[in-house]
């Protein structure tokens, strides 16, 4: 049975001990560790064996495992066109100094790679950023040359990091997501092509970001079975009523006037039954990691409910045909 874990990125205000105690008490079997806030300091985990032991001992104390570590925030800074919005993703010492910020981010990803190795983790989840996301709506006109240059920039910046991952048998699971260079099916396929289908790069499958764009998320699994490296259980609901827009209208998450919102798993429109059946088809045995984001719901109740929901939907395929016993 696939383990049910929780991504700690939305819980980074808690200490690691508090996070482990909370997750274990809710019934989770592991954590997808964030590398910001209070859970893992990448540099320290890359260089200090006693710190690594402390993390492992804390997980073990609460009977938790870890299959993935996150490079979402530092990874975003590697590929993005940087501006003042990114200051919150990096130390204050590099605020508004965007060259220094990118250098910090690249080094931070390197620390995450070493931290993963020291912790015995084989999957890094995260973002790549995108030099061309500001061009997503092609007015003023976006040329094919500009798009190709954007993909080339991401390849040039990430290939050296992928080289470091390869040395350690670690894979990168990109969360296909708006603001990334790969945000839907075709942009992800183009990214794979740009990297010559390098095995280092796969997908952190998260249906919530695909659903509101109009995709049928489970088809991503069917079409790219060998690139599903990690799975997020995260829900979203689309509520277009004639006045709401799919782009969100600059309305805060959680507000009912938005055209779509993230929802606690099971409370939105994602077809998780179809997703689990596709995961069974490809024999995915990795974790189902709850990324809990629902601004309209209290998080402790939501995360506990999400754990129960994930275990309920986590069916395994039958070992026999249903009509096998109908033979004489």
Compute the distance between CA of residue 268 and CA of residue 107 in angstroms, rounded to an integer. Answer: 38
Cis check: omega of the bond before 140, within 30 degrees of 0: yes
| 175 to 72, 92, 125, 130, 166: CA distances (angstroms) | 8, 26, 7, 13, 19
Strands (E), the chain: 4-7, 30-33, 65-71, 123-126, 171-174, 201-205, 228-233, 235-238, 260-263, 288-290
Is-contact 22 11, C-beta < 8 A?
Answer: yes
Q: pLDDT (tens digit, 9 = 90+) per residue, 27-74?
A: 999 999 999 999 999 999 999 999 999 999 999 999 999 999 999 999
pLDDT band at 213 (very low <50, low <70, confident <90, very high): very high
Q: Would the pTM count as exceeding 0.95?
A: yes
Q: Looking at the domain 4-315, which fold is it?
A: TIM Barrel (3.20.20)
- Annotated domain spans of the chain: 4-315
The length of the chain is 328
| pLDDT reported for residue 325 | 65
Is-contact 296 268, C-beta < 8 A?
Answer: no
Tokens for 60, please give them. Answer: 């073990």
| pLDDT reported for residue 323 | 67
| pLDDT reported for residue 198 | 98
Q: How far is CA 188 from the centre of its chain?
A: 14
Sign of the alpha-carbon torsion through 139, 141, 144, 147: negative
**CB neighbours of residue 312 within 10 Å:** 10
SS3 124: strand
Q: pLDDT (tens digit, 9 = 90+) per residue, 64-76?
A: 999 999 999 999 9
């Amino acid at each position: 049975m696939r383990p049910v874990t929780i991504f700690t990125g939305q819980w980074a205000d808690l200490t690691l001990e508090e996070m482990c105690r909370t997750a274990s008490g809710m019934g989770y079997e592991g954590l997808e560790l964030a590398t910001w806030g209070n859970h893992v300091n990448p540099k320290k985990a890359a260089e200090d064996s006693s710190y690594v032991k402390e993390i492992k001992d804390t997980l073990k104390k609460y009977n938790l495992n870890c299959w993935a570590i996150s490079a979402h925030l530092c990874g975003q800074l590697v590929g993005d066109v940087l501006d003042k919005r990114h200051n919150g993703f990096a130390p204050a010492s590099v605020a508004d100094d965007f060259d220094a910020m990118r250098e910090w981010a690249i080094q931070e990803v390197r620390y995450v790679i070493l931290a993963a190795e020291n912790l015995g983790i084989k999957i890094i989840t995260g973002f790549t950023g995108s030099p061309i996301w500001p061009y997503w709506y092609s007015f003023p006109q976006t040329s094919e040359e500009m798009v190709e240059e954007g993909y080339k920039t991401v390849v040039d910046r990430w290939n050296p990091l992928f080289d470091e991952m390869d040395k350690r048998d670690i894979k990168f699971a990109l969360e296909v997501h708006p603001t990334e260079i790969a945000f839907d099916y075709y942009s992800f396929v183009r990214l794979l092509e740009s990297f010559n289908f390098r095995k280092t790069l796969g997908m952190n499958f998260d249906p919530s970001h695909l659903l509101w764009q109009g995709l049928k998320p489970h088809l991503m699994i069917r079409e790219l079975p060998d690139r599903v490296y990690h799975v997020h259980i995260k829900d979203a609901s689309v509520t277009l009523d004639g006045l709401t827009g799919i782009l969100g209208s600059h309305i805060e998450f959680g507000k009912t006037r938005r055209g779509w919102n993230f929802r606690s798993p099971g409370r939105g429109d994602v077809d998780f039954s179809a997703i689990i059946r596709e995961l069974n088809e490809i024999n995915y045995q990795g974790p189902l990691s709850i990324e809990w984001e629902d601004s309209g719901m209290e998080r402790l109740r939501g995360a506990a409910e999400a754990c129960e929901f994930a275990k309920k939907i986590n069916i395994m395929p039958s070992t026999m045909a249903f009509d096998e016993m109908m033979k004489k």
